[in-house]
Amino acid sequence: MTDAKLIDGTVFSGKLRETIASRVAEMKGKHRITPGLAVVLVGEDPASQVYVRTKGKRTVETGMNSFEHKLPADTPEDSLLLLIDSLNKDPAVHGILVQLPVPKHIDTQKVIEAIDPAKDVDGFHPVNVGRLAAGMDALVPCTPLGSLLLLKDNLGKLGGLDAVVIGRSNIVGKPMAQLLIRESCTVTIAHSQTRDLPSVVRRADIVIAAVGRPEMIKGDWIKPGATVIDVGINRIDLPDGKTRLVGDVDFASAVKVAGAITPVPGGVGPMTIACLLRNTLVACARQHNLPEVE
Ligand code: NDP
C-alpha cells in the first residue's frame, strides 16, 4: 500500500490568508472599514507570548489592525473585565481574544462570558456555543473550523461519512463534533472512558485526534483509506537531549494505512491562526451588516 496523501496546512492556510487579505483590502476600499483584532495576554507564559506575537504579525500582514494588550500576571480579575468591557464598546475592535490559560486567580469562564458574543472570535462564549449547536450562524472555534476546512478541501462533501472525534474539550472536541454533525456525518465522540477505543476508531472514515497524548493513536487502529486530522501538539524529549513536536497520532504507522493525514507540525496548527483572521473578518462584516465572507 502506498503512503497516505499529506494534507498540507501550511500551504492551505497561506492561501486562506491571501483570500482574507484581499477581502480586507476590499472592505477598506469600498467601505472605509479596517477590521481590528484585539488580543489580550495576562502574564508571561512563554508559549502564550509566542502565540500572541504570531497572531499580531499575521493580523497586520492581512491588512487588519492589531491591538495588543499585555497585562502583568497579577492583574486583578476586575481590571481584566474592565478592559474587555472597553474593547466591547470600541468600534475599531471587531474581534477580541483573551489568550488562555489566564492566571489561576482569574475565573476563565467569567472572562469568556464578558466578551461581546459578536466580537468573540474564539467562539467560546456560551451564545456562540449554543448557536453552533442549534445550527445557527455562529463564530466557531478556530482549531475545529480549520480542521473542517482541511477535511472539506480533501474530501469534498462529508455527508454520510463515519467520523470519530477523540477528545471532548470545549475548545476542540465538542465544537468539532458539532461541525461534523452540521456536515451530515455520523459522529462518535470518544474520550478517556471510551471502551475499546481502537475498535471505535477503526470504523471511522474520518478520524479527528484531539487528545493531548503523544502518538497515542496507532496505525493499526485506522481504517485503510481513512482521512486523519491530527490536532495534537505535544513536545517530547529525545534521547539526545533535544525535543520534537509530535501529534496525538503515531504518524509513522498511520501514514502507511490512512488515505490522507495531516503532519505535525504543518497540519492543523497553521490553520488555527488563519481561522482566527477569518473569524475577525466575518465578525467585522456582521457588525457592519455587510455580506458574509466565505
Ligand atoms: P484537553 O486536555 O482539554 O482534552 C483532551 C481530551 O482527550 C479529553 O476530552 C479527554 O477525555 C480525552 N482523553 C484523554 N486521554 C484519553 C485517552 N487515553 N483516550 C481517549 N481520550 C482521552 O485538550 P484540548 O482539547 O485542549 O487539546 C487536545 C490536543 O490538541 C492537545 O495536544 C493540544 O495541544 C492540541 N491543540 C492544538 C491546537 C492547534 O492549534 N493545533 C489548538 C488547541 C489544542 P476526558 O474528557 O474524559 O478527560
- Ligand 1 atom with the smallest distance to the CA of 168 is 9
- 88-142 tens-digit pLDDT: 999 999 999 999 999 999 999 999 999 999 999 999 999 999 999 999 999 999 9
Cα 215 to ligand 1 centroid, rounded to whole Å: 12
Same domain, 149 and 102: no
| Pairing relationship of beta strands 5-6 and 260-261 according to DSSP bridges | parallel
d(CA 115, CA 135): 21
> Residue 173: CB within 6 Å of ligand 1?
yes
Same domain, 160 and 265: yes
d(CA 225, CA 257): 6
ipTM over 0.95: yes
d(CA 75, CA 105): 9
Same domain, 109 and 148: no
Same domain, 232 and 177: yes
Residue 197 sits in a domain whose CATH number is 3.40.50.720
Cα–Cα–Cα angle for 192, 142, 126, rounded to 5 degrees: 75
- 138-187 tens-digit pLDDT: 999 999 999 999 999 999 999 999 999 999 999 999 999 999 999 999 99
Cα 182 to ligand 1 centroid, rounded to whole Å: 22
Write down the pLDDT at residue 1. 67
Pocket mutation for ligand 1, best pick of 97, 143, 191, 279 (most atoms within 8 Å of C-beta): 191
In a domain, 137, yes or no: no
- 183-236 tens-digit pLDDT: 999 999 999 999 999 999 999 999 999 999 999 999 999 999 999 999 999 999
In a domain, 105, yes or no: yes
At 243, give phi and psi (nearest 5°). -125, 165
Write down the pLDDT at residue 2. 84
Same domain, 112 and 146: no
> Locate cell 473542517: which residue?
148
Same domain, 251 and 157: yes
In a domain, 10, yes or no: no
Instruction: Report the domain count for the chain.
Output: 2
Cα 233 to ligand 1 centroid, rounded to whole Å: 10
SS (H, E, C) 156-196: CCCCCCEEEEECCCCCCHHHHHHHHHHCCCEEEEECCCCCC
> Is 159 exposed, middle or buried, given 0-12, 13-18 or 19+ CB atoms closer than 10 A?
exposed
Write down the pLDDT at residue 273. 96
Same domain, 150 and 107: no
Same domain, 112 and 209: no
Q: Is the pLDDT of residue 261 over 90?
A: yes
C-alpha distances in angstroms, 147 versus 101, 273, 289? 22, 12, 28
| Pairing relationship of beta strands 243-246 and 260-261 according to DSSP bridges | unpaired
Same domain, 148 and 197: yes
Same domain, 111 and 55: yes
Range of the domain at 233: 142-270
In a domain, 71, yes or no: yes
In a domain, 290, yes or no: no
In a domain, 277, yes or no: no
| Pairing relationship of beta strands 243-246 and 234-237 according to DSSP bridges | antiparallel
Q: Is 95 annotated as a binding residue?
A: no
d(CA 204, CA 208): 10
Catalytic residues: 55, 99, 122
Residue type, 65: N
In a domain, 104, yes or no: yes
Residue 46 sits in a domain whose CATH number is 3.40.50.10860
C-alpha dihedral sign at 80, 130, 48, 283: negative
Same domain, 151 and 235: yes
Residue type, 102: V
Same domain, 261 and 146: yes
In a domain, 7, yes or no: no
> Residue 262: CB within 6 Å of ligand 1?
no
